Structure 1
Amino acid sequence: MTPTSVIWIHSLVALLFCGVAVTLPRPDSAAPVARWLLTAAAVATALWALAIAGIGSADVAARVTGALRDLAWLAVLGVAARAGQGIEAPARLGAYAATASCFVLAAGTAIAAAMVTLPEAVGALDSTGLSLRMLGSVGALVLMQRALLGTGEQGGGARHVLLAALALMWTTDLVVYLLAFIIDGWPPTLTIARGAVMVVVAPLVMFAAQQGDAQAIRASRTVALRAAAAVLAGLYVLATGIVTGYLGSLAGNQARIVQTAFVFGSAASVLTLASTPWLRGWAKVVVTKHLFRHRYDYRNAWLRFTETLGGDGGKGATLTVRVVTALAELTESPAGLLLTSEAGGLRARAAWRCEAAPDEAGSAALARYLERTARVIDLPAVAAGRAPAEEAALVPAWMTARADGWALVPLLHARRLIGAIMLAPPPVSRALDWEDFDLLGVAGRQVASYLAEDEAHGALGEAQRFDEFNRRFAFILHDLKNLVSQMALVARNAERHADNPEFRADMIATLRDSSQRMTALLARLSQRQAGAAGERHPVGMLALAERLADARRAQHPLRAEGHEAMALADPAALETVLGHLIQNAVEASAAGQPVTLVVGDEGDEVFIDVIDQGGGMSADFVRDGLFRPFVSSKPSGFGLGAFEARQLVEAMGGRLLVTSREGEGSRFRIALPRAQALEAAA
């Protein structure tokens, strides 16, 4: 870098700002002062650039024209701020006057330094002038920031571009003055960097002047973040260059080694810090908080949200996992749980990147509360005792005890609670605010619509399967009608031809064929339709288990154990349920592996467990397929046994619970209300 670069760059700056002054539109009657001030500022900037190119940045002419440039742009800033927010308050006018005084005094110190000859006095005046120019730049930046806030959404895109150009100019001035103050000198590098920035400022000013308020220009959040990253990278490179030069002057013969070590070490440190997820999250929060009006980039967030809901991204994710992922990505939560609403409350449905929840994840009262209020529950506030008393009493302890509990989002569709999603806190933990509540509330309704649609599709498919079953049953009835008609005809003919040997042979063949066809029909009808449970009576569970075990021991080894307990149940329905479960356990077990019936009690319930050591079932099948009609893990199964069993148990006021692991077997538990002492005695 040589002084020739200073000449070329500042000559280009002068030429560009002369072009700005010449091409400005003619002042109209609406804002003639603003146009004249803009012209004067462009001319002053051109004179300043010519002074630096022709004389040098240290000359008094360059410093005086620089002060004139700053005063002219300060006047432009004042007019732009007044246009955006009305008449200036006296305090604001005082701030403008104080900033202008700094620039005027800086020019005065430059003139005084040129008139004195004492070196100590010249040094003191230069240092004072540099400090005054730094103060003036800081004041101008503060006023510019207030002007940006004042224009708001109604300021127009051109005014924002002009204010951004002024911010770039005064920020560069402040950095250059600060570096010159630190190194106690003014190398050509600073002058060249300042001129290069002014080359960028000139087109921005020209664009703002030509467009006026006719067009609003707004950079996207991505562009703004990348621009901020580019500015930080530039500052890092500039600071590294300055520090490297300073270290070179101190290290002497070892300068190259010291400089290389510093550059490598600083680059490695920056890359390490930049790769830290927590630091990236913290930087994003800080930038978003201070640069943008809203925390979320709603356009990009909603596009990503709908894309995640609508497709599996080629990973084969189910809808239940996708809805958790989509909602979690909105708040950058690393994990989430889906709870679905059922008659008994909230039950765990799907987990994404976290531990599974208890099977009974929430009470029916909590589900009703979420459905009534549609509130997003702040779990840390509940744990800290800041939540409403009703809400704190309903939230289960496991939610507040887990470290990944941050927000519980209700999923409402047409005022009906479909379920809820529990989100983990983002990498940089923060308190939920109104923006989170609004966004999660709207997104929760969108998620609920997807789940409700999936539920409707499932119900429609189930109805179609029932319709298909009914059609098959109609065909069977048709075959039965034909068999009955055939046998009735044989019976009528037997009255007339019973003595004919040939007829007797035909009759035997017909009866044999009818018997075979009826046996086949009975095999097709081996699964009965679910029926309702009858009247409930006290039933001795151990006695029933022992009787069923004795009746089936010729088929497969069974054993009953436990202690006698009286349950309130419908005996016929309970025997039907146990028959289904024992048959399934026998079919799942290898020959010689016993099936165990265990009877016991727990609290107000009496239970009987049917335990096998067979192949077991997957968690997905237990959750999504076991209790659905016509869904079976057996190739020839109807899939109605478990479905009917659960319906009968629930009709008796009980519960049917399943625990199964692939390769380890299954445990089906029938839990029924305990019969009271008087009922058992009766």
Structure 2
Amino acid sequence: MEPLVFYGYLLATIAYFLLLLTAWVGRKKNPVAGPFLLALAFSMLWAGYITVCEYQPTYTLIISTSLAFETLRNATWFFLLGTLISRQQLNHNYLLLYRSRFTYMLAAFIVFLLVFELSEDVRTPIKQFVGNQVHIRLMSHLMFAIIGLALVEQLYRNATTELRWVIKFLCIGLASLFTIDFIVFSKSLLFTSLDYPLWGSRGIINTLITPLLGIAMYRLQTHGMTDISLSRTLVFHSTVLMGTGLYLITMSLAGYYIRDFGGSWGEFAEIVFIFLAIILLLVLFVSGRVRALVKVYFNKHLFSYHYDYREEWLKLSKTIARLNSLPELSAAIIKTMADLVDSSGGGLWLKDEQGDFYLADAKNLGFDSPQQLAANHSMILFISKKQWVIDFYELAESPQLYKDADLSLWMTPEKAVWLIIPLFLQNDLEAFVVLTQARAPRPLNWEDHDLLKTVGKQLANALALNHASDALSRSRQFEAYNRISAYLVHDLKNLIAQVGLIVKNAEKHKRNPEFVDDAITTLENVVTKMDHLITQLKKGHDPQYQNHRLNLADVAADVALQQAGNRPALQVLNTLTDDLFVVGEKTKITAILGHLVQNAQDATPADGFVKLILEKQPPHAIIKITDNGCGMDRKFIAERLFKPFDTTKGNAGMGIGVYEARDYIRRLAGSCHVDSTPGLGTTFTVCLPLAEELIVDSESPSPANTGANV
């Protein structure tokens, strides 16, 4: 008895037994309780049988019977993995999985191997037929290890993020179990005899695996399962693993012949061969060219369509959604196109404002490419007209197809250009991608061309969206700047008009003391407003001009004084016995009401009337500006009156006074209504909340305190 081997398998038996009891207790919460219990039970029996045999060792008994238990153990783990995969991939319809050809073949292989392991009468004729040089049992169990690793990889690679968290430790545990089996039987096959030290170490390794299986069992009981999605990536990666296993089997057989016929160099040749085999395997595994060749082969022979369009489309959408800038988008376009056909690199040419195309980005392009192509270049005209993907393999075979395009810039051998892919937006060429040779060169068919053109259109839409976002951002900046400028010019125009009125009447009334007093008062008002504008341009707001509680009677008096020089003269009507208080900025409200009065005076003949009427209709203060001027029709009020930069005064007006008035009144939670009849006059009604109805935070800046809406 080997103590380490005996105690290792004894510990594994105990560990599997304890895990089996725990799984039985929580079986009602486990969605795969049956297969899990079955796998744990046969794993316990396998480890227990070897423990008994090690206690009273009979080597022949271990080989002939323990491998049979191991076959049953592997079969139950396959059953568990198959159940996990089928629960979501096949909508819980397990029969679809277990009716597959692969399942039938695997089941038949397991039954055959059990009979082979347990019956000497079956082993003897088979050995006589195939010869004793090939160890069938070792080869079979090596295949079991490869199948197990393939199923584990299939389960994990194609699980969602949430499910990966649930099955992560199960996959690690089973991958470890099948990996040590793979190592044991591959090396044993190399020497055509069971490697006893490696074989004995599996007891300790299985003991170490059981905690991982316990964690996986707990997560399955508490969190259940979520979706797994089957894809051709799954098939590809599983095939890579299967190919790796077949490769190692071949290397093992070759190693056997080296050892058997190597003479005195046999042992040395074995060591060198194994080292070179490992190096070659690593080189092949990391080789992009080999992966590309395998992908082309399986796409060609296993699928009716070369591409999984759903996967390609979702992958493209997710890629575009993560991009925030043009440089990121340019790099993503190159990578997306290159990955579709396994190209090693490429470059992207974008259209500029003049219609020419410039090199925006390059990745592994490998040559000095033209930095710019003119819009009238023959290649650009050819692509725009034909909307083709230019294929240089096709060009070599049928040059007449591209006779109208000058491709001399790309045809030198050192450039190794393969494809030029256009990106169209509504039949307009927005960009094109140049790709270098593929890792696995191949001709393109109609499906490749259609996919490249379709993806190109989607990427062109992403480019257009990026350009539109940039243009919108710039437009908003200009809009803010123009709005500031318009309001500023509007207020300055009104101030200049007041100063101009003083200058106009100065020669006639300059010796009149009352005129001088009025002129000084007007100039003080102009200076105050201009200082206000300058302060707000510098700081954004001035605490002196925050909203305050103010009396509309005082505002009306200021408006009358401001508009005193215009005709017809403004009549202020206030029949209220108490004051009328609102909350706002006095300077701003005075300017707005003054502008509405100015408009009324401009629209009314000198012998007409313009009235400013104050009323109180709780909870609102009412300001009416009424005249008997030319009036307006309903269409003009609806379409043009409040439209900014639309004026009927020609060069004398800015067209933003009424728009600004309504905007500011709305900021004060008020409203503005217009009633007008052509030829009879107009009434502007301004409603503002009474001060008593509002609670104002005097410490916070007013939303309306923007001076000239700067």
Higher relative contact order (CA 8 A, sep 6+): 2
TM-score range, shorter chain: 0.3 to 0.5
- In the superposition, the TM-score normalised over structure 1's length comes to 0.45
Q: TM-score, normalised by structure 2?
A: 0.44
